[in-house]
Chain A
Amino acid sequence: MKPPAFGYAAPRSVEEALAVLADLGHDGKVLAGGQSLIPLLSMRLTAPHTLVDINRIPGLADVTVAEDGSVIVGALVRHAELLAHAQAFEALPLLRRATSNVAHATVRNRGTTCGSVAHADPSGEMTAILAITGGSVQIAAAGRRTRDVGAREFFLGPLESCLGPGELAVSVRFGAPAPRSGSAFLELARRQGDYAMCGVAVTVTLDDSAEVTTVRAAYLSVGPVPDVHDLTAPVAGQRYSTADWRAAGELAASLVEPEGDLHASADYRRRLVSVLTERALPLAAADAVARTQVAA
């Protein structure tokens, strides 16, 4: 488990990085926290010609809460930093709720949130969060204006994003929560910190009289890309405290097409989709009430 020889570049600015990446084309590979890439190299599952280490580039390590309440996370922000970021949590509590489930402290200290998204693992927490918050990825390339790509277009398949050769994700933007909405995140992993057998991020929006207007959910480990499902129908107009969350969970189970693996059969995953959804939704509704002071 030793990687074959590879070239190494350590650019000191985004411009330099983009120039190096453009030069290398298909031969270049961005190295951020290395928590996914280095194991792949060591197992010789990938053998890039040159690693472009972005860790020495200044200005990529900021978490910014924009005026509209969205949270912008630079390419070098580690999971641990996002987890500890008070304003980000206040603006978008889902971020911390999900990030605390990413791996273990040692991995979170090195791995980047942006790298997680770039890695496009449908079992990763941040892919689902990007999807459900209607977020986007800011992609730069030499000689081009930075483009902003929404989650739907960004994730193409398992471990496959729209990032092309020469491109660098400079940040990801997680969208602001809707007014009168609340969120919850639940997952079940075989062991704490493992990739989840199934996980769910939900948002529930209420109207002024605490009745449900919108229910949305995005899942981990149940499909090739983090689809966002609308689960409003079975609970629309119901009061948050007595809504038929079970029906919403059952609807979710009918919408997903999970696959089985060593740790969880497809049927069991479907069961988890329904149970976790049913459990997460009342939490999200309560969160909506608590955060937005809708008349409870």
Chain B
Amino acid sequence: MPAFIPESEANVGMVEVFAVASGKGGTGKTTSTMALGMALADEYDVTVIDADTGMANMLFHAGLADADTSLHDVLAGDAPVEAAVYNRFGMAVVPCGTSLSGFQQAEPDRLRTVVATLAADTDVILLDSPAALGSRSAVLPIVLADSVVVVLQPTIPSLSDGLKVQEYATTYGTDVAGILFNRVTEDEAIDRVATKTEQYFEGETLATVPESDAVRAARRAGEPLLAHAPESTPAAAYREAATRLTVHDRPVDPVADRFRSAVIPDHS
């Protein structure tokens, strides 16, 4: 950032939106979203949003199971965005409710406004995304993001699904920020698998995160991994991954435009 730009203005222009995605549930998207968010929060203002509105679980990872207002209320038009923002673990956390009726009343397209509104006030947004590509609302976070972090398990179905996520993302004008192997149990072979996998992905391997009791314990405690077990091996892997993520400087007006008019026609 050139020194002659006043601090406040400089900050306004900078936001990078990452979608944390995988084709399959249970790969560790929410775990990864919270961990990357906390790691990036050392340097940036970070907002994490549970955009997996049909299978939300960020609230359980962030100790927000009792939160009064969630993204569901915002998407239903019943609450302003600010009411669903909670300052936790050095980040702004926007959890989503888990009820079926909340999901049914939500208007998915409002996510765009939510992202655009929060973008004005933060450096980095992480969208915890649905494990599906089969509906318009499921792919919306990937469409809205600048780039996608693809969470993979080293299995054939997970790799195949991850490739599909990449192709959807790039077709919709979203870059691949990198791939992240999670729940790795075989140490020696994973490096070969990662190298071979990288050939097919348009982003580098950000980290390989081991299958670990620390991750499960953090989830049970309702805390992100980096708060619960900051010294653990998986926590170190996530910090390493965060250093490999590029946070671009994007001028404020094109940013707002991007969310207003980009890929999604305005229905309102």
A binds B: no
